[in-house]
Amino acid sequence: MWRIFQTKSGKVALSGILAAGSLVIMMLSGVLPFWKSGLAALAGLFPMVGVLIAGRTVGYFCWFTVGVLGIILLPDKGSALLYFLFLGLYPVLKGEIESIRRLPVEWIIKILFFNLIFSIFCVFFQYLFFSELTGLFFNKRSFLFLIGNGVFVCYDMLLSRIVAIMGNYLR
C-alpha cells in the first residue's frame, strides 16, 4: 500500500500532503492561541509520519516547507519559530540520533540539542520582545532549564511511543 510513496514523485506528493496538513494545524494556533505549543507539537508529527512512510528526506522536506511557510504566512511568528527550530525538526532528527544505538550517547546528544535550541529561543524572545524583563529571566534561568529538560524528556518518551504505535499501524 505504501509502495507508491517510494518513488520520487510519490515522495514529493507525500511531502506536499503532509506539509499541507501540518500547515493547517499550525494555522489553528492563530484561532486557538492558548494551544500554541501543543498545536506546534501536533504539527511536528506530520514530518515524523513522512519519515516512517518514505524516509528522512520526506520528513526534512515537510519540516522545512512548513517552517518557511509558517514564518511567512502565520500571524503568530512565535509558534512558527518554535516549530521551525524544534517541534518540527526534532521528530525527524530523533530517528537519526537513535540510529547511533548507544543509549547514553543518544541521550547526551538529545539533551545538548534541546538545550541549544532552548537557549536560542529564550535569548531570541528575551532580547527582541522582553528586554525589560532581562533581570527576571536571568534570576529564573536555571529553573526554566530544569523544567524545560524535564518536559523535553517526557516529550521524547511520548514521541517514542507514538513512533512505535504508528510503525505498527503502518505495517
Note the pLDDT tens digit of each residue in 16-25: 999 999 999 9
Listed residue (92, 90, 83) closest to 55, CA to CA: 92
Higher confidence at residue 152 or residue 119? 152
Task: For residues 26-33, give the mean pLDDT.
Answer: 84
pLDDT tens digits for 52-74? 888 899 999 999 999 999 999 99
Q: Is the pLDDT of residue 138 over 60?
A: no
pLDDT tens digits for 90-104? 999 998 999 999 999
Higher confidence at residue 6 or residue 130? 6
Q: Is the pLDDT of residue 79 over 70?
A: yes
Higher confidence at residue 167 or residue 69? 69
Q: Are 51 and 68 in contact (CB under 8 A)?
A: no
Rounded to the nearest 10 degrees, the angle between the axes of helix 90-98 and helix 45-54 is 40
Distance between CA atoms of residues 96 and 90, nearest Å: 10
Q: Is the pLDDT of residue 125 over 80?
A: no
> Rounded to two decimals, what is the model's pTM?
0.85
Q: Are 89 and 63 in contact (CB under 8 A)?
A: yes
Cell reading at 6: 517510494
